[in-house]
Chain A
Amino acid sequence: GQNIDQPTEMTATEGAIVQINCTYQTSGFNGLFWYQQHAGEAPTFLSYNVLDGLEEKGRFSSFLSRSKGYSYLLLKELQMKDSASYLCAVRDSNYQLIWGAGTKLIIKP
């Protein structure tokens, strides 16, 4: 079967750095997406990785290792508004997105 694993919840301090991990086992791989979802709202697109390595976009970076079936989202200089759930999704061989359950990130002052 297809499976995406993320930690359920993480806590970090304002101004610090946090890394949210995602491991996946899917039938084929055509890219990995990270989304941010604030409570009660729709997910919004953050980043995309299809090749191994790091993609940087402002305070957010995303890393991919296809051989290990592993990705992480790195958030720097954390702000209170970063409190949200972060969803990892993999596009499989049928070009459908397989979604993780999300990691709820709690930022403390």
Chain B
Amino acid sequence: SQTIHQWPATLVQPVGSPLSLECTVEGTSNPNLYWYRQAAGRGLQLLFYSVGIGQISSEVPQNLSASRPQDRQFILSSKKLLLSDSGFYLCAWSITGQKGNQPQHFGDGTRLSIL
């Protein structure tokens, strides 16, 4: 069966510091991968998605970036965090193609607090 791992679970970082969140998927090949951010009481905001190694699409202009160095690894990074980067970050995967009734499956999330 497929599993998704995301870490760390919680992170407290000072303003201006760098960020690296990692997500890996097991049990499937060539998944679509996603990074979302969820502010308190708000819906999910899609940040990045990837349909293959090295292929990254950005949905929202910001100081974050994403990379996919391996088929089942997705990394969210920042060189300098802002206060507004605080939130709940979620990684998700889905079967390639997104056709049909295949949902997205989420990791446990990272709660990021910027001080």
Question: Contact at A33–B103, with CB atoms within 8 Å?
Answer: yes
Decide if A60 is an interface residue (CB 8 Å cutoff): no
Known: A97-B46, A101-B41. A31 touches B108 (CB 8 A): no
CB distance from B16 to the nearest CB of A (A): 27
Known: A41-B109, A42-B109, A44-B106. A91 touches B98 (CB 8 A): yes
Question: Contact at A42–B90, with CB atoms within 8 Å?
Answer: yes
* B contact patch SS: loop
Question: Contact at A48–B103, with CB atoms within 8 Å?
Answer: yes
A-B contact pairs, 30 of them (CB 8 A): A4-B43, A30-B99, A31-B101, A33-B103, A35-B103, A41-B108, A42-B90, A42-B106, A42-B107, A42-B108, A42-B109, A43-B90, A43-B106, A44-B106, A45-B105, A48-B101, A48-B103, A50-B101, A89-B44, A91-B98, A95-B98, A95-B99, A96-B49, A97-B44, A97-B46, A99-B44, A99-B45, A100-B43, A101-B41, A101-B42
Residue of A41, A44, A87, A95 touching B44 (CB-CB under 8 A): A87
Which chain A residue shows the least CB distance to B39?
Answer: A101
Contact partners of A43 in chain B: CB under 8 A: 44, 90, 106
Identify the interface centre among B44, B90, B106, B111: most chain A CB within 10 Å of its CB.
Answer: B44
